[in-house]
Structure 1
């Protein structure tokens, strides 16, 4: 059975992907910063689905930790078939002149540099086999810059551009590259963006029936299980009340 490597697996889309791939018998390499959550997830998935899980607890922002962990994977875990670059976050919702530079740097280091580090480290496990699939989590923010989104939007636009570059430059190695761009999805995303302010987080979804983490994970699974000659390159996914990164039809 194939092996899937998921970053940011301890919540949201990452955890939902672990569930859907685990339920379908895939072996899982699970990454996250919160070791307690990783251990709990591993125990649950192995009990529920009888699959194998290998944990890699590191922060994708830490270049040395990324390469050390992946370069020293045990031999039985070195055939990575699918990489899901899910680790990412938004921090703050402020005008450019009022934004916190530390927030900017954390988003750049996680959403962009972290994705680059992990991809670069995993590719030597795919290229010799002339096979693999990299799935990058973008956002509708990659397509439309919205008010007070500034650097978050910039990082997701960069993910889109990097995905295009990967797709072109990895053609000789038959490695698929898919960018998935979700719209409003009710996960921990808004709570992290508003730094634990539950009231502000809830307003993100007021009047909407947003996407769920499972909705997005099911779409990722579909993209990952198409025939070898088929690749979905770029996919924007929203709830039915959202047209893009800006326009919503919220019910009162």
Structure 2
């Protein structure tokens, strides 16, 4: 059994991931903004919950501290939360949505990773999983800010891996492709189901001790690149 923090747990991949990890016997703290959904998830799975808005840096730090108190320790941090305000061309951007996407998609996982290192380094063990996106490997029009933040997270995660691994801490950057979640405006049944993505992520906790998955890209069969 491992002690795990999952962000973005109220819907999509994070919701399914919390269910999957709890079913496997792990102790999970699930975080999100929607307290009603968190409470329902807690009733369904038995997970611990912490309500937090990742756009607020102070709440991010508080989330981590409360989560570790509830867990008693920390084995795994899964930075899953992400958001895209909308698709728009660069000349239509607002400063507010740029700042919001920076805060949630890049700053929050960076802060949580920083705090996790403070716990994991002394114990010389741990695992940090950053859910990026295949958007970071592409250049899609109308997705400039989201792409920039995800590319930033990929870069941060790569350096985190190099700084963490000598201390026995595994770091994985995940690049999932199209997933049929409410993140999208329309249903995409040809894309991966959130549970499929969650089950794939959960497998990373079961890798042998002498294996580190630095990066993993996975897509639905309909996507070729």
When normalised by structure 2's length, the TM-score is 0.94
- The alpha-carbon deviation at position 218 of structure 1 amounts to 1.1
Query: RMSD across aligned C-alpha pairs, in angstroms?
Result: 1.5
Unaligned runs of 5+ in 2: none
- Matches of residues 4-43 of structure 1 in structure 2 within 5 Å? 4-43=4-43
1:242 aligns with 2:211: no
Any idea what SS the aligned residue of 2:109 has?
A: helix
Once the two structures are superposed, what CA deviation does each residue of 1:26-54 show, in whole Å capped at 9, x if it has no partner?
011111111111111001102xxxxxx22
Please identify, of 152-161 and 119-128, the stretch whose mean Cα deviation from structure 2 is larger.
Answer: 119-128
Give, in angstroms, the shift of residue 147 of structure 1.
Answer: 1.2
Determine the C-alpha separation between the residues in 2 that align with 1:23 and 1:72: 23
1:226 to 198, 207, 222: 207
Do the aligned partners of 1:132 and 1:175 also contact (CA within 8 Å) in 2? yes
Q: Is the 8 A contact 1:60 1:117 kept in 2?
A: no
Partner deviation per Cα, 1:120-169 (whole Å, 9 max, x = no partner): 22222211111111000101111111111111111111111111000001
Structure 1 position 153 matched with structure 2 position 136:
no
**Which residue number in structure 2 is paired with residue 194 of structure 1?**
none
Retained in 2: the 8 A contact 1:60–1:118? no
8 Å contact 1:78–1:125 — kept in the other structure?
no
Checking the alignment, whether the CA contact within 8 Å between 1:81 and 1:133 is kept in structure 2 is yes
Rounded to whole Å, the distance in 2 between the matches of 1:43 and 1:13 is 18
Q: Aligned residues, how many?
A: 225
Q: Does the alignment pair 1:106 with 2:106?
A: no
Query: Which residues of structure 1 form unaligned runs of 5+?
Result: 47-52, 191-200, 245-252
67-76 vs 166-175, greater mean Cα deviation? 67-76
Offset of 1:73 from its aligned partner?
4.8
User: Aligned equivalents of 1:75 and 1:68: distance in 2?
Assistant: 11
Find 1:217's aligned residue among 191, 198, 202. Answer: 198
* Moved segments of 4+, more than 6 Å: none
- For residue 208 of structure 2, give the secondary structure of its aligned residue in structure 1: coil
Cα distance, 1:75–1:8 mapped onto 2, change above 3 Å: closer
TM-aligned CA distance change 1:180 to 1:129, over 3 Å:
same
